[in-house]
């Protein structure tokens, strides 16, 4: 006789955390899409300048990369909200268990989610500005390089491809941010209505474990944003390996996530 399979636990009262992709996906795209395209554009500009007289193209590109670091910083800020959102919700769970009817932790959580939505919006706008700024700068550099009537067809081909890939990365990043926004809005629907049925022990522990897991993978120390920003800035300010496509593939394995001894989360990107 076949025994009936246990039914999956349905959350009736408590809200689940956002997807792990909210923090990991943003970081992955920044390292594996946005940075590589900046490196390829950098290499294309340097190669084109090698056969052209010195111009202001290098200065324009350097300034663009400085602005790009500011945009990446907004991504970092949005990413960090994942960790603090988990802390706020876990504090609410603690208060719910200790003293039902105490709404301070609940309202603190809701207040923080409003800040999160604001930071997500800023990050999305920053990504759109980043895409447009790089597009305009590459156009200006193309005009400068073509002013001496030399052939720059190779630069145009390479830069066009990089701009396309970069635009795709921005769209993917903003899609993840939008998904995170919707998940936070869903979490905001968490109720503290005294007439609601309190969560069962099974629901409470399951939701608590999931929020604790989300907090663990969102730990800021797992993600080396400073190294990423140095790589985006480039030149003498970059403390990592020389910036080129040949060593880019090695970056994630030893720089993206610092290894934490005896910690199962010591891998670059974890999935739900």
pTM summary value:
0.80
pLDDT at 170 over 90: yes
Condensed to tens digits (0 to 9), the pLDDT of residues 221-250 reads 999 999 999 999 984 444 444 333 333 334
CB 84 within 8 A of CB 18: no
pLDDT at 179 over 80: yes
CA dist 104 and 110 (Å) reads 10
For position 256, what pLDDT does the model report? 37
CA dist 65 and 34 (Å) reads 12
pLDDT at 115 over 80: yes
Axis-axis angle for helices 35-50, 57-98 (nearest 10): 170
CA dist 65 and 46 (Å) reads 14
CA dist 225 and 61 (Å) reads 22
For position 193, what pLDDT does the model report? 65
Domain residue ranges in the chain: 21-256
CA dist 204 and 198 (Å) reads 9
pLDDT at 9 over 60: no
Helix (H, G, I), strand (E, B), or coil: what is residue 147?
coil
Work out the mean pLDDT of the chain and round it to a whole number.
81
Condensed to tens digits (0 to 9), the pLDDT of residues 119-150 reads 999 999 999 999 999 999 999 999 888 876 66
| Residue 53: C-alpha distances to residues 49, 97, 149 (Å) | 7, 71, 12
Greatest extent of the chain over all pairs of C-alpha atoms, in Å = 84
> Rounded to 5 degrees, what angle do the CA atoms 91, 19, 262 make?
75
Measured in Å, how far apart are the chain's first and last C-alpha atoms? 34
The alpha carbon of residue 158 and the mean position of all alpha carbons in its chain are separated, in whole angstroms, by: 26
Condensed to tens digits (0 to 9), the pLDDT of residues 45-97 reads 988 887 766 678 889 999 999 999 999 999 999 999 999 999 999 999 998 88
Going by pLDDT thresholds of 50, 70 and 90, the confidence category of residue 200 is confident
Mean pLDDT of 204-214: 94
Region class of 150: left (phi > 0), else alpha (psi between -120 and 50), else beta = beta
Task: State phi, psi for 203 to the nearest 5 degrees.
Answer: -65, -45
CA dist 8 and 166 (Å) reads 41
pLDDT at 253 over 50: no
């Amino acid at each position: 006789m076949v025994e009936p399979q246990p039914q999956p636990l349905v959350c009736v009262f408590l809200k689940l955390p956002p997807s792990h992709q909210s923090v990991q996906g943003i970081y992955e795209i920044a390292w594996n899409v946005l940075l590589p395209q900046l490196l390829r554009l950098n290499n294309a500009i340097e190669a084109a300048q090698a056969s052209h007289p010195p111009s202001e193209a290098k200065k324009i590109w350097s300034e663009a990369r400085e602005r790009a670091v500011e945009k990446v910083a907004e991504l970092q800020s949005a990413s960090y909200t994942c960790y603090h959102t988990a802390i706020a919700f876990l504090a609410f769970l603690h208060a719910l268990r200790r003293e039902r009817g105490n709404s301070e932790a609940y309202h603190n959580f809701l207040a923080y989610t409003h800040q999160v939505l604001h930071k997500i919006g800023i990050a999305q706008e920053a990504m759109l500005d980043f895409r447009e700024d790089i597009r305009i700068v590459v156009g200006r550099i193309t005009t400068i390089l073509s002013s001496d009537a030399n052939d720059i067809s190779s630069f145009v081909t390479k830069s066009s491809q990089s701009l396309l890939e970069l635009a795709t990365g921005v769209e993917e990043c903003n899609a993840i941010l939008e998904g995170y926004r919707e998940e936070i809005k869903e979490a905001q629907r968490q109720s503290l209505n005294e007439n609601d049925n309190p969560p069962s022990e099974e629901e409470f522990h399951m939701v608590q474990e999931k929020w604790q897991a989300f907090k663990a993978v969102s730990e800021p120390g797992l993600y080396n944003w400073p190294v990423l920003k140095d790589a985006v800035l480039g030149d003498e300010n970059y403390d990592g390996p020389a910036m080129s496509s040949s060593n880019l593939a090695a970056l994630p394995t030893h720089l993206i996530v610092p290894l934490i001894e005896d910690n199962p989360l010591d891998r670059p990107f974890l999935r739900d």
